Structure 1
Amino acid sequence: MKLEPDYYKGRVALNCLAGSVQNAKEIYEAAQGHLVCGLLTKNYANTESCVTAMKKYQSAVNNAISIGLGAGDPNQSKMVCEVSETVQPQHVNQVFTGVGFTRALIGQNETVINGLVSPTGKVGYVNVATGPLSSKEKVATIPVVTAIAMLKDMGGSSLKFFPMQGLKHLEEYEYVVRACADNNFSIEPTGGINLDNFENILQIALKAGVKKVLPHVYSSIIDKDSGLTRPEDVKKLFEIVKSNLD
């Protein structure tokens, strides 16, 4: 089973939601394999049913799956850990405080595990209180570089900056990507990214020198009637990626 994500062959890949196994195949092909299919644990009643479903996706797209929380829900942290231990996906989304536990359970270093930090409104700082208990307390504002170091300590692979709300936190994002570049860490911009602002968000990270960029583009490219991600929109996003890497 392939654990190393395709985007390690280049600088950029996409993370888009898969609404069905067939949809996963379609969006994976639309991005020519440079994509991990987002699958949300929140959509399943328990760990067992989630594992069963995700193994079907895993087989369909060469394990290019991203096990997610569901809108950053900290209450899904434990289930993400449990599912990831069994499924062994290429990518895992986790709250900041759940990264170390996930890495320990998954038992290998190839799978990418991100750590969710949130904007604070203050450039150079992020909120790391994104866990099941910590998110209910006061915001824990720490320097971006410290958050990156802590994620490395815990076995994390990348920093997930969420919720970005598109370009609302632009100055904060610009600082975050520079810090990631300076500290040899990957970035995963997430929240409110669409076909209109995607290129700007991508270019900022690439110009800063970040070596690995994994933008999450979710609801903006999902068909409201079918609930499926539109392959044609994924293709448009991938064309933008290629044009910025040429």
Structure 2
Amino acid sequence: MSLTPNYLEERICLNVLANSVENAKECYEAAEGHVVLGVLSKNYPDDASAIEDMKKYQAATNNALSVGLGAGDPNQSQMVSRISAVLQPQHVNQVFTGVGTSRALLGQTETVINGLVSPTGKVGYVNIATGPLSSKASEAIVPIETAIRLLQDMGGSSIKYFPMKGLAHRDEYQAVAEACAKYDFYLEPTGGIALSNFEEIVQIAVDAGVKKIIPHVYSSIIDKETGDTRVEDVKTLLEMMKNTLK
């Protein structure tokens, strides 16, 4: 099993939730491999059960596993780091303060690790107080360029910008995209992304010159009855991705 992410050769890669191994496999095939499948650590009672189950997702998708927190829950930060050290997935979701731990425990630089920062209502600034303790304190508002440099110091690969609420923070998001392009950093827009706004959100990042874009599309494409991510929607998103790069 190669550690090298197969999607890193492409500019855009989807991140969607997988409700089962079969759902993960179907979404992987529907996206023609341009996807990582999110499996949430919060859904498991302990490390051992998470590792055992997530290995099945890795085997079914050429290791296109994205180890998730669970709605950005900072209390999952340590568990994500521990299980990722064993699993060596292609992608890891982390709060800002958990990035250094994850990178050190992984012991390699190939896995993509994002660091969660949040909108502030002020263009050019983000909140980095997203950790287990810091998220309960006052916001730590810093320039987006400083946040990127701090993440790079810790071995991070990308900004996870959450919660975006779709295009509610459009101007702020554009400033984040421009900063990511300037410092050769990846960008992962997250929160409120749907079929209706996906193409515009991705296009903003493409136009800004972001090298790698990993949009997270979650609840809007999940079947409410089965809990599965809808395969047809994944196919639609893939076509939109291709359109933005024409």
Q: Does TM, normalized by the shorter one, top 0.5?
A: yes
Quote how far apart the aligned CAs of 1:4 are.
2.0
Judge conservation of contact 1:159–1:188 (CA < 8 Å) in 2.
yes
Q: Deviations over 1:124-171 (max 9, x none)?
A: 000000000000000000000000000000000000000001011111
- Which secondary structure state, in structure 2, belongs to the residue aligned with residue 145 of structure 1? helix
Quote how far apart the aligned CAs of 1:243 are.
1.4
Task: Please say if 1:126 is aligned against 2:126.
Answer: yes
Aligned residue for 1:76?
76
- Which secondary structure state, in structure 2, belongs to the residue aligned with residue 109 of structure 1? coil
Judge conservation of contact 1:68–1:93 (CA < 8 Å) in 2.
yes
Judge conservation of contact 1:2–1:90 (CA < 8 Å) in 2.
no
- Which secondary structure state, in structure 2, belongs to the residue aligned with residue 160 of structure 1? strand
Judge conservation of contact 1:7–1:212 (CA < 8 Å) in 2.
no
Judge conservation of contact 1:6–1:35 (CA < 8 Å) in 2.
no
Partner amino acid for 2:85? Answer: E
Q: Deviations over 1:97-125 (max 9, x none)?
A: 00000000010000000000000111000
Task: Quote the Cα distance in structure 2 between the aligned partners of 1:98 and 1:204.
Answer: 28
Partner amino acid for 1:199? Answer: E
Judge conservation of contact 1:28–1:36 (CA < 8 Å) in 2.
yes
Partner amino acid for 2:62? Answer: N
Task: Quote the Cα distance in structure 2 between the aligned partners of 1:111 and 1:81.
Answer: 12
Aligned length: 246
Aligned residue for 1:148?
148
Aligned residue for 1:65?
65
Task: Please say if 1:37 is aligned against 2:49.
Answer: no
1:40-189 mapped onto 2 (5 Å cutoff): 40-189=40-189
Identity of paired residues, percent?
A: 65
Partner amino acid for 1:32? Answer: E
Q: Deviations over 1:53-81 (max 9, x none)?
A: 00010100000010000110000001000
Partner amino acid for 2:17? Answer: L
Task: Quote the Cα distance in structure 2 between the aligned partners of 1:166 and 1:196.
Answer: 10
Task: Quote the Cα distance in structure 1 between the aligned partners of 2:220 and 2:114.
Answer: 22
Aligned residue for 1:7?
7
What RMSD in Å do the two structures reach over aligned CA positions? 0.5
- Which secondary structure state, in structure 2, belongs to the residue aligned with residue 159 of structure 1? strand
Quote how far apart the aligned CAs of 1:2 are.
1.8
- Normalised by the size of structure 2, how large is the TM-score? 0.99
* Structure 1 portions without partners, runs of 5+: none
Task: Quote the Cα distance in structure 2 between the aligned partners of 1:8 and 1:135.
Answer: 31
* Structure 2 portions without partners, runs of 5+: none
Q: Structure 1 runs of 4+ off > 4 angstroms? A: none
Aligned residue for 1:244?
244
Task: Quote the Cα distance in structure 1 between the aligned partners of 2:48 and 2:219.
Answer: 26
Q: Deviations over 1:179-204 (max 9, x none)?
A: 00011100000000000000000000
Quote how far apart the aligned CAs of 1:44 are.
0.6
- Normalised by the size of structure 1, how large is the TM-score? 0.99
Quote how far apart the aligned CAs of 1:7 are.
2.2
